[in-house]
Amino acid sequence: MTPSKIGVTGGAGFIGSHLCERLLAEGREVVAVDDLSHGTTANMASFMQNPGFRFHQMDCRNARELRRVFAGCDAVAHLAAEKIPRYGGALQTLESNVQGAHAACEVALSLDAPVIVTSTSDVYGNATPPFNEEDHVVIGPSTTRRWAYAVSKLYDEHIALAMAEEKGLRPAILRLFNVYGPRNHPTWWGGPVTAFAEALLDGEIMELHGDGRQVRTFTYVTDTVDGFVRALDTQDAVGEIINIGADEPITMIRLATAIQEALEIPGPLRAKLVPYEKIGGRYQDVRCRIPDTEKAARILGFDARVGLSDGLAESVAWHVERRRLMDAGSAGGSVSAA
């Protein structure tokens, strides 16, 4: 019942590497694939030598090769994806996410294994918070580039559910809400926590989009990974869409303040507002993004446990340590782990 060998796409990425680490710590086997477009081998350094772990650098859209390396897996977790094309790259986002999910679902079907399809809170667009899995989604116009990500993930959800109905696939769809923590990509690709921390450590000013009063909830990565593991181990998750998120809302301005405080940089707030027009792609924001977590609690027994202040402390400590290792590396030392 409980999967013992899991194929993970996007295993060298932020969330994927934490998922691999947790599964290996539980004594399970993991086969990870990643094309290293945004992930790194450093993310996997702490478990690369684990005898239960195998890594293959490859494009997960190659279904034939994916089937070969995932042979013997009794579950698949599909995380490989391109994220919000804030500054360009919508075509890559659409093609990669649509084709990647298709390949992962085909492979899971051929293995007769359940599959976790990783979706996003971005699919709700500007729905009315708190976002419930049954809600209508409110996506902006196609002329706004950022919605390409949400639409690609909605396609992934539909493909998985259609393959369930018509071919017997066993998918569980997880809609993740802003994840943060160590190993997150140190640019806007990793979202505001990492972008703000890196800006401050560079001695620069944090950029808050729009008026900075958007509301988000942030989920520490170990909590998100706990949601994945519970979904892998819960038969009742099959066929369901489930929000995985924390419910501690915060505005971007408050988040920026908290990160500056966590880095012990005295005030005033080192931030500036960036008008949406400056972002390009006819950018539109989501004003308030809060999950309804009732379904995750009911089906998975999931409850985010790491509070924002503890999670931010861990995150900024990682950013500081990452720089220390980079400096040591450039001074002749070796940079081994991230």
Ligand X SMILES: NC(=O)c1ccc[n+]([C@@H]2O[C@H](COP(=O)([O-])OP(=O)(O)OC[C@H]3O[C@@H](n4cnc5c(N)ncnc54)[C@H](O)[C@@H]3O)[C@@H](O)[C@H]2O)c1
Using CB under 6 A, which of 3, 5, 7, 14 touches ligand X? 14
State the binding string over 84-123 for ligand X (x if CB under 6 A, else -): ------------x---x-----------------x-x---
Span of 33-41, 47-55, 260-268, 288-296 interacting with ligand X by CB under 6 A:
33-41
| Residue 193 touches ligand X, criterion: CB under 6 A | no
Contact 249, 290 (CB under 8 A): yes
Q: Tell me if 131 sits within 8 A of 291, measured CB to CB.
A: yes
Q: Which is nearer to ligand X, 16 or 85 (CB)?
A: 16
Is residue 137 within 8 Å of 119, Cβ to Cβ?
Answer: no
What is the phi/psi pair of residue 298, to 5°? -70, -45
> Which CB, 29 or 122, lies closer to ligand X?
122
Residue 16 found at the interface with ligand X (CB under 6 A): yes
Q: What distance in Å separates the CA atoms of residue 320 and residue 315, rounded to the nearest whole number?
A: 9
Cβ at position 92, least distance to ligand X in Å: 9
- If binding is defined by CB under 6 A, does position 83 make contact with ligand X? yes
d(CA 81, CA 60): 10
194 counts as binding ligand X under rule CB under 6 A: no
Site string for ligand X, 149-178 (x = CB under 6 A): ---------------------------x-x
Task: Between 75 and 270, name the residue whose CB sits nearer to ligand X.
Answer: 75
Residue 28 or residue 185: which is nearer to ligand X going by CB? 185
Residue 22 as a binder of ligand X (CB under 6 A): the answer is no
How many of the other CB atoms lie within 10 Å of CB of 235?
9
111 and 70 Cβ atoms separated by less than 8 Å:
yes
Residue 191: partners with Cβ closer than 8 Å, 6 or more residues away: 178, 179, 180, 184
Distances (CA, A) of 5 to 20, 22, 71, 74, 159: 11, 13, 10, 6, 24
Shortest Cβ distance from residue 193 to ligand X (Å)? 9
Sign of CA dihedral 279, 280, 284, 289: negative
Of residues 36 and 326, the one with the C-beta less far from ligand X: 36
Q: Which residues bind ligand X (CB under 6 A)?
A: 9-10, 12-16, 33-39, 59-61, 79-83, 96, 100, 118, 120, 176, 178-179, 185, 191
